[in-house]
Every structure is written in C-alpha cells, then in structure tokens.
Structure 1
Amino acid sequence: MTTESLASADAARFRALHAPGQLLILANAWDAVSARLIESIGGTAIATSSAAMAWAHGAPDGERLPFDRLLAATRDIVRAVHVPVSVDFERGYSKSPVEVADAICRLSEVGVVGVNLEDGAEPPELLAAKLSASREALRREGRDVFLNARTDVILRRMVSGPQALDEVVRRARRYVDAGCDGVFVPGSLTAEELARVVEEVRVPLNVWAAPTLPPLEQLRAIGVRRVSVGPRLVLTALSAVKRDAEQVLAGRWAPAPEGATPAYAELNAWFG
C-alpha cells in the first residue's frame, strides 16, 4: 500500500472516531516513543501537545519550535504508530492564510490526518481565513485532513459572564462556515454550557480534560465527541524522571519498582 493510500485510510479512520455516539479520548504525545506507548495501551489515535513537543526539543511553547523540526518530529511519530495522528499546530506559524495552508499540506504529506488551529488572541476573522485557505488547498491537492478549530474565548477570559458562551458559539459557527471539521473549546464549562455548544454548532465538540469536567458517560450523553489532555502526560513523565534523578544523584541505586513498564526489551522491540 502506498503512503498516500495509508494516509487516506488513516483519515477515514480518524473521521470515524468522531462519529455520532463516539467519544474519542486523546492522550497527547510529544515524540515517537510516547506515541507508541499510548498506542500500546489502547490509544485509537495520537494527538500531539505543542508545549510538550517544544520542550522536548529545547524550545518554549508558542510556535517557538522551528517548523522544520516540528515536521521532522511529526514524521517520526507517524512512522512509529499504526493509528491516525493529529498535530497541535497552534496558530499555524503564520498570519498568512496561504502560508498556513501550505504548511498543513506539508504535514499531510508526512501522514498527518488532523490538525488543531487556534485563534488565540487574534481576531476570529483571521482563523476563519486560515481555515478557508487550508480547506481549499487540501481539496486542490486531493488530501484529507480533519481541521479542528480551537477558540480560546473561555481559556483567555476574553469575555465575561453569559456573553462568553455567546461569543464561543458565534466564533464556532464562523469557523464551521470556513471549513473546519470540529471545534475545540478549552476551559471550564458546565454540562449545560457544553450541551448548548453541541446543540448550536453542527460539528464534533472537543473539550479539554479537567477536574471539573463531567464524567465520560455524561459527556457522551451530552454529545461531546472528543477529549484531550494537553501537556498533562509530559508533566507526569518529567515528574517521575525528576524523582528518580534525585535518587540517582544522591547515590541511591535502588532498583526500579517491581513490575515497572515498559521494560528495555519491550521498548527496543517497538522499533526493531
């Protein structure tokens, strides 16, 4: 099977994971081994964390990791797993809709079948233009990428009170009209607020996992289709590394806890 055929099959699988009644849980990865680990324990798709990928390459979050390095790291992830891969592409590394569209096509060429594009502090008109240009470029090249439009209205507290959700819905509808396939609304929302977004926006809703988030079955009943965790896993991993490194630097050589996984042989076999 050709690379193009594999990408097309992965794109179809990724879209199916957002079908009505489905609830896709994404444990965000940052490199090939974290992605392969997530796949090995049942992850049905891989999504990257922009922050985690940047930190892994010695850069701060916020489009400070050079695009070519992002592309190379993404290629490694795609090669390491057999499930669909989606990339957190922040604001697309440019204010130019044409440049963003070109970059998304380049991501598609290495096998990516989904991207997140966010509005951040920029006007919604700009993200709409990026989405429209990207959708047209992908159509022109015969590529299929799930465009997930993230709005930061709640996360950045751009609007207060009941008007905040009004603005979320207004932006989300605009992004749908521009060609997005899903909408991502990070931030704290009640079950009633989530239900309103599901009701008034006609594409799958992605939310960010948080202690205040309703239980999975309630999310499924509301109609939420996707949950992601951002940089949570890399923070957990580094916390464990820090604890063990402190032991090592103090000269304490206690063996790893019994049953610790994955083991050396298993990790090596993943890439053999």
Structure 2
Amino acid sequence: MRSNRISDIEDYVLKNKTVSLDTLCEVFNVSKNTIRRDINELTEKGTIKKVYGGVSIKEIKEEATVVPFDERNIRNISLKSSIGERCADYIVDGDIIFLDSGTTTLTIVDYLRNKNNVTIITNNLEVIIKALNYPNLNVITLPGNLIRKTISFVGVDTISVLSKYNITKSFMASTGISIQCGITNSHPLESEVKKLAMEKGIEVFLLVDSSKFDNSSLITYGQLKDIDYLITDRKPAKKYLEFCLSHNVQLVTCDE
C-alpha cells in the first residue's frame, strides 16, 4: 500500500508542479511524518525536489556533453542484444525499416541474417558497417555531416531525403524516457531526424533497456502514447504498465 501511495504522490506532484505538505496530507489522508518519509524516498529517486513548505518537480538539466557511441556501446550489452533479438521477431520479409542511431537498435542487424529482401534506412555509420556482413539486407544511407560522438549523419539533407521514403517499421532509440517528458534525446539535430522517422513509420517500436526509465534528456522528440510497441529487458514500474494499457501501447519484455 505504501509503494502505491508513493507512486500516486509522485503522479500528483508531476501533475500539479508544486504542492504543499499540508495539501498532500489532506489529499492522501496521512500524517506529516508519513508524507515526509514518502517525500524522502521520491527525492532520492530524483523525480521531485523539496521546496519551502512542500515539494516541486525537479528541473531537467541540460546535458553538457553527449556520451560517445563507443562508450555507450559497452554498457548493458547483453540486455541490448536481447532487445535486438526480440525486435527482429517483428520484422518480416519485404519490410522497409528505419534503424535509429543508437547502441540498442544496432543489435537488431545481427538477427536479420535469415530475413529476405529487408531494406534498412539509417543515418548511423555503425549500422551501415554491420549490415555489410549480410548480403540479404538492402541498405539506404541518409546524407549529412558526420557527428563523431554519435557516429551518425545529420543535416538539412538528412531530413529532406528521409521524408521521401515509405517506412513499414521504425525502430527508435532514446537517451531516456518518462511519462512526464516522453521520449528524449541529447542532440538537437538528431532529434529532428528521430521525430520524422516516428512520423513516417506505419508501426513505431521504441527500444530502451531498464536503465532508461524515469530519465530525461535535453529534447523531447516524441510522446510515449504515439508508439505502437515498447520493448525493454524487464517489466517496468506499475505506472508504465498502466500507461501502456490505457494508450494501447504493446509492452514487450525480454524476461517473459
């Protein structure tokens, strides 16, 4: 019951931005000592902060730097590979897919070895290089200037070329996701490519490992309600289960 109350308190604060302790006591019918204990747990989680006489949403700080692709690629390797394998189950012969620039989406390529006539559209150099190993895959590369830290091509031409293609399935990556801020990314120009790829995909798959939940980055490029599939390594918090159910988003976990 306490865990449910804490989750409800978090949702209430996120909705109302700033709330007094007295209001929380009244709404949730508990003492100030109980509210203070619950608030301490939420502040440790990092979603809200204490202010004089109450609590408020914690401000999202802009990331000073983008973590290099190679450094991200060695984090949670087995989890990302499991997600990539699960995604490949949804890809059928003849699909035209967009593979977003991300270390999790990169893992999909190795699981397409037995697919026929699959076309990959991407702006990520690592995806292009990995796909060279599989002659059964058609690859369309998007133009642009190379961003070395993300190993992706981005620019005005990237958007222009991508807008011309039809895409059956878009497989998207994210620096962090939350119900409040949606699907976020650190790089402004990359975010524009991601946004268009979501719009062009007939079906949209969001690939995130469990470390990405309740984290937010500089720019929101999409909303969780606008995806069709949320694919992750294990079952997320209750609020995400309820969100997916109420917004007709299919939640797929690799531990099932």
| TM-score over 0.5 for the pair | no
**TM-score scaled by length of structure 2:** 0.32
More helix by share: 1
**TM-score scaled by length of structure 1:** 0.31
Larger relative contact order (C-alpha < 8 A, sep ≥ 6)? 1
More strand by share: 2
Greater Rg, structure 1 or structure 2? Answer: 2
